[in-house]
């Protein structure tokens, strides 16, 4: 169900399209050998090409080309064996060439599609219009001086993939699911690290509104949003702003707007440029990019198992629910951790421990999976102790708590604290006899038809044995005694 805004004149439907800028995982820039690493001192990674010195000629970074094709294959998209690099002309202080080398009419990747996962196991197909390669601009620093703007050209020439969606999304939740899915795919592929905080993945969000069933309305674009949460907030604010204008009899101007997360609002930046404003033309310093089927197939043969395929395998071969499978494949590291835990073990039990106990502890402590004191091997060993009857599920949770706090092995904690489950029928029978003798009234009620009291007796026996009695053994001895 899409986002519907109720206005005085009726319902309005929100239409959303996204342009995701993903920095290519590559050691060097798109057309020079300068480092593309993040976090270096300003202007310390700038070649003569990046600084647009006269006479400098760009040279293709083959790795960046391979990464774009790899991403296109991961998006189920058409790979164009002939593509052209264009000059997109505009002036800005952090664009030393006075143009950006990009792709326009003939991009390296054409139409594709991805499946996004929504609540209640629902899915939707979102169309990909294109993926093209382009170089990033530098960065203007406005907070270094009260009366000057500084320019850092370290990012100038860094390779970007711009992934353009069809206007197929109808709610902030769908837009969020789309960004997360694209991020997941490029991280599985190793073509972008997906780090939105460092700016290596950011989104331009196009929003318009219309009466359901009518043609598209006028869209506004919000630039460079690097947080999924901010993107959702921006969509809600912008959609309501446009509805207010239209309900008042006005018209929405096509423009570029900025989202201010502090104020929770969008504000006008500039009137929206059309393609002809950029005066695109093929870059005369770069020949068209051409490759053959063999080049594509070599990359295809090296593709990893992607999130959708992994999710289907977890459901069909491991018997997981679509929800659990979706949670476990969303991040490559989580999927790898889970598979290591589940190898040779009960898949559903393994999934429950990863999603329940592990995620719960990570969330409470603010730790990432890589920082977890409990590694996959250690969690697997804990599950083994449950399965072989050494400890109960309840005791296992206490053991996991200590494993997370101390990093100790499960077996060592169980040994040190004497937590082994009691399966000795003699000891368990003695505890049962004591509980039955102490509660004659409850025994009478149970025998009088109150079957639910069986749980009470189970609890009392477990309490008497400090939770160490094997529940299966307890049940086998307790029930005949109560039934009398």
**Dihedral sign (CA 73, 79, 84, 90):** negative
Residues 181, 95, single domain; the answer is: yes
Whose CA is closest to 304, among 131, 417, 172, 186? 186
Classify burial at 4, counting beta carbons within 10 Å of its beta carbon; exposed 0-12, middle 13-18, buried 19 or more: middle
C-alpha 268, offset from chain centre: 30
Query: Which of 231, 266, 296 is the endpoint of a domain?
Result: 296
Structure tokens at 474: 């307890």
Query: Which of 363, 389, 417 is the endpoint of a domain?
Result: 417
Query: Which of 366, 395, 417 is the endpoint of a domain?
Result: 417
Residues 80, 31, single domain; the answer is: yes
Give the Cα separation of 281 and 462 in Å (integer). 78
Q: For position 451, what pLDDT does the model report?
A: 82
Q: For position 370, what pLDDT does the model report?
A: 93
Residues 361, 239, single domain; the answer is: no
Q: For position 275, what pLDDT does the model report?
A: 60
Q: For position 143, what pLDDT does the model report?
A: 86
Number of domains making up the chain: 3
Structure tokens at 21: 């800028």
Give the Cα separation of 85 and 8 in Å (integer). 48
Residues 34, 148, single domain; the answer is: yes
Q: What are phi and psi of 77, to 5 degrees?
A: -110, 160
Q: For position 332, what pLDDT does the model report?
A: 94
For the CA atoms of 219, 221, 222, 227, the dihedral, rounded to the nearest 10 degrees, stands at 90
C-alpha 103, offset from chain centre: 27
Number of neighbouring beta carbons within 10 Å of residue 62: 10
Give the CATH number of the domain where residue 477 resides: 1.10.10.410
Whose CA is closest to 114, among 373, 381, 308, 358? 308
Give the Cα separation of 324 and 31 in Å (integer). 43
Residues 335, 432, single domain; the answer is: no
Residues 406, 432, single domain; the answer is: no
Give the Cα separation of 452 and 461 in Å (integer). 15
Distances in Å between the alpha carbon of 21 and those of 360, 408, 424, 447? 32, 43, 63, 70
Residues 184, 234, single domain; the answer is: yes
Residues 228, 340, single domain; the answer is: no
How would DSSP label each residue in 72-89? Answer: HHHTT-PBPSEE--EEEE
Residues 316, 272, single domain; the answer is: no
Number of neighbouring beta carbons within 10 Å of residue 213: 6
Residues 236, 326, single domain; the answer is: no
- The alpha helices in 131-281, defined as continuous H runs, are 172-189, 228-247
Residues 203, 292, single domain; the answer is: yes
Residues 8, 99, single domain; the answer is: yes
Whose CA is closest to 418, among 353, 468, 469? 468
Domain interval for residue 389: 305-417
Whose CA is closest to 361, among 346, 378, 339, 384? 378
Whose CA is closest to 242, among 264, 274, 211? 211
Whose CA is closest to 233, among 152, 157, 173, 150? 173
pTM: 0.86
Number of neighbouring beta carbons within 10 Å of residue 396: 22
Distance separating the N- and C-terminal Cα atoms of the chain: 57
Structure tokens at 236: 């809600």
Q: For position 420, what pLDDT does the model report?
A: 79
How many Cα atoms sit within 13 Å of 40 on the Cβ side? 14
Tens-binned pLDDT, residue by residue, of the chain (484 aa): 688 999 888 999 999 999 999 999 999 999 999 999 988 999 999 999 999 999 999 999 999 999 999 999 999 999 999 999 999 999 888 999 999 999 999 999 999 999 998 887 788 999 999 999 999 999 999 888 899 999 999 999 999 999 999 999 999 999 999 999 999 999 999 999 999 888 889 999 999 999 998 999 999 999 989 899 999 999 999 999 999 999 999 999 999 999 999 999 998 887 766 666 789 999 999 999 999 999 999 999 999 999 999 999 999 999 999 999 999 999 999 999 999 999 999 999 999 999 999 999 999 999 999 999 999 999 999 999 999 888 888 889 999 999 999 999 999 998 888 877 666 678 788 888 888 889 988 888 888 888 888 889 888 988 888 877 878 788 888 888 888 7
Give the Cα separation of 296 and 194 in Å (integer). 24
Whose CA is closest to 315, among 348, 292, 346? 348
């Amino acid at each position: 169900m899409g986002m519907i805004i109720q206005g005085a004149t009726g319902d309005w439907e929100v239409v959303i399209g996204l342009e995701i800028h993903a920095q290519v995982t590559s050691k060097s820039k798109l057309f020079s050998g300068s480092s593309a690493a993040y976090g270096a001192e300003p202007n310390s990674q700038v070649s003569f090409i990046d600084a647009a010195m006269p006479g400098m000629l760009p040279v293709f970074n083959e790795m960046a080309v391979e990464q774009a094709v790899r991403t296109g294959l991961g998006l189920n998209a058409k790979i164009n064996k002939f593509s052209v690099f264009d000059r997109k002309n505009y002036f800005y202080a952090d664009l030393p060439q006075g143009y950006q080398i990009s792709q326009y009419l003939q991009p390296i990747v054409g139409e594709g599609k991805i499946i996004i996962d929504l609540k209640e196991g629902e899915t939707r197909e979102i169309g990909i219009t294109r993926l093209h390669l382009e170089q990033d601009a530098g960065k203007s620093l406005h907070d270094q001086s009260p009366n000057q703007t500084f320019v850092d050209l370290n990012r100038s020439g860094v390779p970007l993939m711009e992934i353009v969606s069809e206007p197929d999304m109808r709610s902030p939740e769908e837009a969020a699911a789309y960004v997360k899915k694209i991020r997941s795919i490029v991280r599985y592929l190793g073509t972008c690290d997906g780090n939105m905080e460092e700016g290596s993945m950011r989104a331009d969000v196009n929003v318009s509104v219309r009466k359901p069933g009518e043609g598209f309305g006028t869209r506004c674009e919000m630039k460079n949003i690097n947080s999924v949460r901010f993107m959702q907030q921006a969509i809600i604010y912008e959609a309501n702003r446009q509805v207010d204008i239209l309900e008042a009899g006005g018209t929405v101007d096509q423009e570029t707007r900025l989202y201010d997360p502090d104020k929770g609002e969008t504000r006008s930046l500039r009137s929206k440029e059309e393609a002809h404003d950029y005066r695109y033309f093929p870059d005369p310093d770069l020949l068209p990019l051409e490759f053959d089927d063999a080049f594509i197939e070599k990359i295809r043969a090296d593709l990893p198992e992607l999130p959708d395929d992994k999710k289907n395998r977890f459901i069909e071969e491991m018997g997981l629910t679509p929800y659990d499978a979706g949670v476990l494949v969303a991040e490559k590291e989580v999927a790898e951790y889970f598979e290591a835990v589940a190898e040779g073990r009960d898949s559903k039990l393994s999934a429950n421990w990863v999603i329940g106990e592990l995620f719960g502890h990570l969330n409470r402590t603010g730790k990432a999976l890589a920082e977890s004191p409990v590694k996959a091997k250690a969690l697997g060993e804990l599950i083994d102790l449950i399965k072989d009857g050494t400890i109960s599920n309840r005791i296992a949770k206490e053991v996991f708590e200590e494993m997370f706090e101390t990093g100790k092995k499960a077996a060592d904690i169980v040994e040190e604290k004497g937590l082994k489950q009691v399966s000795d029928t003699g000891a368990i029978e003695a505890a049962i006899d004591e509980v039955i003798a102490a509660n004659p009234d409850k025994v009478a009620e149970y025998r009088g038809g109150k079957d639910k009291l069986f749980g009470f007796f189970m609890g009392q026996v477990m309490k008497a044995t400090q939770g160490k009695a094997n529940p299966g053994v307890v049940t086998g001895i307790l029930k005949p005694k109560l039934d009398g």
